[in-house]
Every structure is written in structure tokens, then in C-alpha cells.
């Protein structure tokens, strides 16, 4: 789960058409329990009736979001390390998933890991494309006569706080809303 998973879970609380239940998995059990307690309190403040639980393994669901893995290296150099982290979850998800369920691959490199995930389920969305496009637009807005520096926009966040999470969570939310409105995601 990590910081990004926490941000995604929190963002899901704000989508009116999403989720009656959120299952969360993390290797840091103490942090996970704290995040779940915080999310439950946020849901109560919002008067949102939602079940938020810790699980050991993925359960049957319409939607899966994988935010697991290492983040300290360049995205492309993370492939082998994060493949080892993600593949056990993919195997479990493929065993319990509903027909037509969707996976959002947030773990980097999301495009390469999404290709691997397609061996386990038919509907996989790599997360990060909308964010990269947003960084490109910000680069062009702030320096219209210079070559866009998308990596510089990423580093502004990473160097300031060590990780990026709110824009990633927003991308997940945007895609969920679009998929729900399309009628593809049933519940």
C-alpha cells in the first residue's frame, strides 16, 4: 500500500459512485492499521457508509489497485525488483477475481508491469500516463520557449517530499469515474 496506496484509498472515499468496501494489504501491519483507522474516521466525517478492512490476500472484487513495490530508483530500473513484488498478488488476484474485473497498475514501471499483468487478467490499466501528460503541460506552461522537462516536474515533488501520491491518486479516481460512467464496471 504505502503512501501512494493511502492516497488512492482516501481519494476513493470522495468518489460518489465508487466502493462499498475497500480491502487493504501492506507488509507494515502497524502502519496499515493506522491508515485504516484514519480512513474509517474520514469516512465517518463524510457520513460515508463503507467497509475498510485489512486482508492478507486479495479477495473477489470488481476492481484491484496495485501500489506495491520499491520507488527509490529510476522507473525503468525497477522492473525486476517490482515484478517480484507484484507477481504473487497477480497470481492471487487471477485466482479469486470476478469475470470482467479491472486492475490498475500503479507500481512503476506501470506500463511494463501492466504487460505482465495481462497474463493474469484481461483488463489492466497502467497508471501514470495522465500524470506524465500533466507534467508535460506544466512544463510547457511554465517555460513555453524551452524544451519541456517532464522529469524536472517529477523531481520538484520527489525532492520536496520524497514521493509523489496525490496526482497518482487523482488519476486512479478519474479513470474509475470514466469506467463507471461507461457502464463497464458494474458495482
pLDDT at position 140: 64
pLDDT band at 101 (very low <50, low <70, confident <90, very high): very high
Question: How far apart are alpha carbons 9 and 21 in whole angstroms?
Answer: 11
Number of domains making up the chain: 1
Domain-located, residue 48: no
Domain-located, residue 139: yes
Residues spanned by the domain of 97: 57-182
**Segment among 2-16, 120-134, 153-167 with least mean pLDDT:** 153-167
Domain-located, residue 62: yes
Domain-located, residue 174: yes
SS (H, E, C) the chain: CHHHHHHHHHHHCCCCCCCCEEEECCCCHHHHHHHHHHHHHHHHHCCCCCEEEECCCCCCCCEEEECCCCCCCCHHHHHHHHHHHHHHHHHHHHHHCCCCCEEEECCCCHHHHHHHHCCCCCCEEECCHHHHHHHHHHHHHHCCCCCCCHHHHHHHHHHHHCCCCHHHHHHHHHHHHHHHHHCCCCC
Domain-located, residue 37: no
Neighbour count for residue 43 (Cβ, 10 Å): 19
The whole-chain average pLDDT of the chain stands at 82
Residue corresponding to grid cell 517532464: 150
pLDDT at position 150: 64
Domain-located, residue 126: yes
- pLDDT above 70 (res 167): yes
Question: How far apart are alpha carbons 70 and 78 in whole angstroms?
Answer: 7
CATH label of the domain that carries residue 100? 3.40.50
pLDDT band at 72 (very low <50, low <70, confident <90, very high): low
pLDDT at position 104: 93
- pLDDT above 90 (res 149): no
Chain mean position to CA 62 = 15
The answer to whether the predicted template modeling score (pTM) of the entire model surpasses 0.75 is: yes
Condensed to tens digits (0 to 9), the pLDDT of residues 168-181 reads 888 888 888 888 87
Domain-located, residue 10: no
| Mean pLDDT confidence for 105-125 | 92
pLDDT at position 68: 85
39-48, 67-76, 93-102 — most confident range: 93-102
Domain-located, residue 31: no
Nearest to 25 by CA among 82, 67, 83: 67
Condensed to tens digits (0 to 9), the pLDDT of residues 31-55 reads 999 998 988 888 888 888 888 888 8
Chain mean position to CA 120 = 18
Instruction: Please answer whether residues 31 and 25 qualify as being in contact, where contact means their C-beta atoms are separated by less than 8 angstroms.
Output: no
pLDDT at position 187: 52
- pLDDT above 90 (res 129): no
pLDDT at position 141: 59
Amino acid at each position: 500500500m504505502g503512501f501512494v496506496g493511502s492516497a488512492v484509498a482516501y481519494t476513493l472515499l470522495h468518489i460518489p459512485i465508487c466502493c462499498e468496501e475497500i480491502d487493504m494489504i501492506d507488509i507494515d501491519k502497524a502502519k496499515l492499521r493506522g491508515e485504516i483507522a484514519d480512513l474509517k474516521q474520514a469516512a465517518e466525517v463524510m457520513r460515508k457508509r463503507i467497509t475498510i478492512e485489512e486482508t492478507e490476500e486479495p479477495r473477489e472484487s470488481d476492481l484491484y489497485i496495485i501500489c506495491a513495490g520499491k520507488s527509490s530508483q529510476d522507473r525503468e530500473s525497477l522492473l525486476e525488483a517490482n515484478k517480484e513484488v507484484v507477481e504473487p498478488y497477480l497470481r492471487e488476484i487471477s485466482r479469486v477475481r470476478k469475470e470482467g474485473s479491472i486492475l490498475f497498475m500503479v507500481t512503476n514501471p506501470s506500463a511494463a508491469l501492466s504487460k505482465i499483468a495481462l497474463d493474469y487478467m484481461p483488463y489492466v490499466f497502467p497508471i501514470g500516463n495522465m500524470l506524465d501528460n500533466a507534467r508535460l503541460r506544466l512544463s510547457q506552461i511554465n517555460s513555453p520557449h524551452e524544451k519541456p522537462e517532464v522529469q524536472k516536474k517529477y523531481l520538484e515533488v520527489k525532492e520536496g517530499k520524497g514521493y509523489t501520491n496525490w496526482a497518482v491518486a487523482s488519476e486512479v479516481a478519474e479513470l474509475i469515474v470514466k469506467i463507471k460512467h461507461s457502464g463497464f464496471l458494474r458495482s
